[in-house]
Amino acid sequence: MPLARDALLREMHTAFQAVLRHLQGLDYALDWREGPEEWSARDIVDHLLGTEDSGILFHLGRALRGEPITPNPGHLSRSPQRRAMDIQALRRALTDTYQEVIRLVQEASPQQWERKVRLVRPQGVQEIDPEGVVRRFFIAHWNEHARQLASLQERLGIVMED
């Protein structure tokens, strides 16, 4: 595997670990939200896991098949199964998603990895390759929501030791 993919995998691992780290201590407050429009820790994890038509696995799969991507920002599944999950089950689901993204990255052929697809957003259409999909929809996205989880920890008085 090229060195660039190795570096990408390391960045993915860092983002994944940040999400898990900032879930610590939130087990008793998975559904707590500061206001009606704010997301709870469960909402954040639900969003990161995606659905059958949104999320990193959906978008990366489309990119590797050469299909256009149309993100659905702020999408939550709100499925009864996810609503019933405890923190351990949510962590396992995040781990499963992370491992599946790793598998897709590692198994992508050079042709798949270099293929550009259309990313269709309200701001316009641009071209993106699978590495760009991983950087945008996994690394940047998961880091952004790790910061959101850290903010929840802070507001709830949960202190994490470094």
- pLDDT tens for each residue of 113-155: 999 999 999 899 999 999 999 999 999 999 999 999 999 999 9
What's the CATH code, domain 3-155? 1.20.120.450
pTM: 0.93
**Residue 17 in this model has a pLDDT that exceeds 70:** yes
Q: Where along the chain do its domains lie? A: 3-155
Q: What is the mean pLDDT of residues 67-75?
A: 87
Q: How confident is the model at residue 162 (pLDDT cuts 50, 70, 90)?
A: low
Closest CA to 140 of 38, 14, 50: 14
Q: How far apart are CA 150 and CA 126, in angstroms?
A: 32
Q: What value does the mean pLDDT of the chain take? A: 93
Output the CA angle 128-133-138, nearest 5 degrees. Answer: 160
